[in-house]
Amino acid sequence: MMRYPYIAVEGLIGAGKTTLARRLASMNQGRLVLEEFDDNPFLPRFYEEPDRYAFSVELSFLAQRYHQLKRVTEQDLFSNCTIADYSIGKSLVFAHVTLPPDEYALFMDLYGIMYADLPQPDLIVYLHLGIERVRERIRSRGRSYEQQIGVDYLMQLQERYLDHLQKRAGQRVLVVDLGARDLLHDEQAFNRLMELMNADVPTGYRIASL
């Protein structure tokens, strides 16, 4: 079993969050919580007209993530191993990049009210990939609405993610630099990640490489 009962895996688009979360949950017979991004009707429109649909897409994601994590809490499944391919803090990261200041201020108010009611992950694992590798992953995934995502947008998200995670007071945050390693096909890299995740991770922000 995993050392920490509730783990959230974070990272940019294509970093391998969902693949890793599935494997961890399967290995440990744990509860798997996957983001329901296909249920967000605003997402394809956001990539076409970001200024017009930014607030709608972020608010929709915030509501989806809250309700999903709230259901997990009510089912009392956090007493066992629970692996999610996101944390609700993801909403704050994306909103900071996509929304203008006035809409972001309103979003922050809503986020603060909803976030306070949810349990915190025992460990957040951020899978860090270089931007070029992220773009390769996006191209290989083949989702048409993702192909137009710009480098500047990805770089802003990466910067905002790391800033957000450094400020997670009282939480365990493990940033794993994947470099050129592939967790799906490189068993040595995966085993190294398991060692890092099952170690006594101190509270705070820690960077490690495979």
Sequence-distant (6+) residues with CB within 8 A of 4 are 121, 122, 123, 172, 197, 201
Distance CA 97, CA 105 (A): 13
- C-alpha 200: how far from its chain's center? 22
Which one of 85, 117, 177, 200 is the catalytic residue? 85
Residue 85 known to be catalytic: yes
Classified as helix, coil or strand, 69 is helix
Pairing, β 82-84 against β 123-128: unpaired
Strand partners, 123: 7
CA 179 – CA 98 distance, rounded (Å): 27
Enzyme catalytic residues? 85
